[in-house]
Structure 1
Amino acid sequence: MLYPLSTLALGPVLIGQGRYVRRVTPRLPEPEGERQGTAGKGPELRLLILGDSAAAGVGVSKQQDALAGLLVRDLASDHLVTWSLLAETGRKAVDVLEALKASTEAHYDVVLVSVGVNDVTGRTSTQQWLSALNELSDCLINGMGATRVLFTAIPPMHAFPALPQPLRWYLGMRARQLNSLMENVCSSLDSLEYLCVSFPFEPGFIASDGFHPGPDAYRLWAEHSAISIRKLAQKAAS
């Protein structure tokens, strides 16, 4: 109830602040580097990293320092990792779903998903959000054979330095709501996992735009993801 009431009460202020943020916030490019490949040795692991600008690595200059590069490097120490990155700046959950459907048919063991920030800023409805998450899950598990899908929690937007108040509070509130719904979806299937990583908002953890992850945040995200993926691999082997 608070979210729709706040939308009505603060509408003009929020619109003005949103336009200001878009005008003054630097538009960082997606990093250069490979978006698919094979690395390491050991048991085969087919990995897909899927989603938005954070999945794409915005905030660092090279893919080797972004989520995909760091996660593959970690997992390659004890797996033969065949990996792909399917991510693009600005994508909402429904855009990620459409990109997945349009991609080359492939099968994966594990998929790491990053969606939600653009759904918060783009005011995706609760029903649209749930529908997209459920369809994404079905497509990945039943269509592409994934045994595990990790949905990364939307970061704490109420702490984003690039956002002024009350816009920061408003978007943070909606991020928490969508996270709660995401967590509920993940709890409904054993194949889904809600991955929540706590990032300190310190130098190195936030990019120069005050909005995207910095190199230390990508490192922490990759470490947490690798731990979850290895637990799955150990469980499957036992």
Structure 2
Amino acid sequence: MTEQPALRILVIGDSSAAGVGVCNQAEALAQPVAKLLAIKLGRLVTWQLVAKSGVNTEESLALVAHSELRPADFLVTALGTNDVTSQRAPHQFLQDYRRLVKEVRYRTGAVGLVATGLPPLRILPAACHPLRWYLGQYAIRLDRLLQHWISQDATARYISLDWAAKPLEMARDGFHPGSGQYRRWAELVSEQIADLLAKQDRLLA
């Protein structure tokens, strides 16, 4: 029996993708996703992380343009919070998101996509009311656009972060996920990748 090649994961995003809020990558997103998939699938899984604090979708395009991307099978994205805080127009947010995914797929060969929805900014401890309410409403608007777009792509999955609306479980800064939330997020991402991979295998069988 021929050994399966390594499954290659590429994670692109902002500070949450980068793991801000926890001490190291072992507690963040990319590395745990790879470990969980390796266990689920019984095969080697490699990962690459391209992320930077503060970037919105437009700025992520520049980040990717100046990054050396390795070949990948699945793309995982975590963007949108900084589009809210920088008040980018919803149509521009979605347009840049689509451009980013298209560019990364072209450069890496990645087919599968797991897009993370925007976090529930309405409960953000770091912001006071009524700013918190306003940011939350804006995030919901962008999130719905993202979710609708992803629903039209059979090779993509959307992951809601609404379950993370628990301020006491967040990082000390009151802005980023806590370790338990990163763990749950990684579990959800790995489940969606495994499901997409199984779907691909069925189509090829």
TM-score, normalization by structure 2: 0.90
Q: CA–CA distance in 2 between the matches of 1:184 and 1:143?
A: 25
Match of 2:183 in 1: 219
Matched residue of 1:61: which SS?
A: coil
Matched, 1:201 2:163: no
Alignment deviations for residues 170-192 of structure 1 (CA, whole Å, 9 cap, x no partner): 00000000001111221232222
Matched, 1:175 2:139: yes
Q: Which has the larger radius of gyration?
A: 1
Q: List runs of 5+ in structure 1 lacking aligned partners.
A: 1-40
Identity level (%): 36
Match of 1:192 in 2: 156
1:152 to 101, 110, 116: 116
Q: How many residues are treated as equivalent by the alignment?
A: 197
- Give the Å deviation of 1:200: 4.5
- Give the Å deviation of 1:91: 0.7
Per mean C-alpha deviation after superposition, the further-off stretch among 99-108 and 57-66 is 99-108
> Structure 2 counterpart of 1:201, which letter?
K
CA contact (8 A) 2:124 2:174 kept: yes
Match of 1:3 in 2: none
Match of 1:96 in 2: 60
Matched residue of 1:209: which SS?
A: coil
Alignment deviations for residues 68-116 of structure 1 (CA, whole Å, 9 cap, x no partner): 2211221122221121010011010111121112211432110110001
Q: CA–CA distance in 1 between the matches of 2:82 and 2:37?
A: 29
Alignment deviations for residues 127-170 of structure 1 (CA, whole Å, 9 cap, x no partner): 32021111012112333211111110001000111111100000
Q: CA–CA distance in 2 between the matches of 1:47 and 1:114?
A: 14
Matched, 1:49 2:11: yes
Q: What CA RMSD, in Å, does the superposition of the two structures yield over aligned residues?
A: 1.6
Per mean C-alpha deviation after superposition, the further-off stretch among 167-176 and 185-194 is 185-194
Per mean C-alpha deviation after superposition, the further-off stretch among 111-120 and 226-235 is 226-235
Matched, 1:62 2:21: no
TM-score, normalization by structure 1: 0.78
Q: CA–CA distance in 2 between the matches of 1:210 and 1:202?
A: 7
Matched residue of 1:194: which SS?
A: strand
Matched residue of 1:76: which SS?
A: helix
Q: List runs of 5+ in structure 2 lacking aligned partners.
A: none
Match of 1:139 in 2: 103
- Give the Å deviation of 1:237: 2.2
Match of 1:163 in 2: 127
